Amino acid sequence: MSDRGRGTKSELGVGEVARRSGVAVSTLHFYESKGLIRSWRSAGNQRRYARDVLRRIGIIRVAQRAGVPLTKIRESLDTLPDGRTPDREDWARLSACWRDDLDRRIGELVGLRDRLEGCIGCGCLSMKCCPLYNADDKAGEQGVGACYLEPR
Partner DNA sequence: TATTGACCTCAAGTTTGCTTGAGGTTTTAC
Partner DNA sequence: GTAAAACCTCAAGCAAACTTGAGGTCAATA
Binding site for a second copy (CB under 8 A): 5-7, 16, 19-22, 51-52, 54-55, 57-59, 61-62, 65-67, 86-88, 91-92, 95-96, 98-99, 102-103, 105-106, 108-110, 112-113, 116-117, 119-120, 123, 125-126, 132-137, 139-141, 143-147, 149-150
CA–CA gap between residue 148 and residue 129 (Å, rounded): 10
Residue 30 makes contact with DNA by CB under 7 A: yes
For 115-120, the CB contacts below 8 A with 24+ separation are 115/148, 115/149
| 44 lies in the site for DNA, by CB under 7 A | yes
Q: Does 133 bind DNA (CB under 7 A)?
A: no
Considering only 18-26, 94-102, 128-136, 138-146, which stretch makes contact with DNA by CB under 7 A? Answer: 18-26
As a 3-state breakdown, the chain gives helix, strand, coil percent values, each rounded to 5, of 55, 5, 40
Partner that binds at residue 120, options a second copy, DNA, none, CB closer than 5 to 8 Å by kind = a second copy
- Residue 142 makes contact with DNA by CB under 7 A: no
Question: Can you name the residues that pair with 50 across neighbouring β-strands?
Answer: 11
Q: H-helix or E-strand containing 48? A: strand 47-50
Is residue 41 within 8 A of residue 47, CB to CB? The reply is yes
3-state secondary structure of 12: strand
Residue ranges in contact with DNA by CB under 7 A: 1-2, 4, 13-16, 18, 24-27, 29-30, 42-47, 64, 69-71
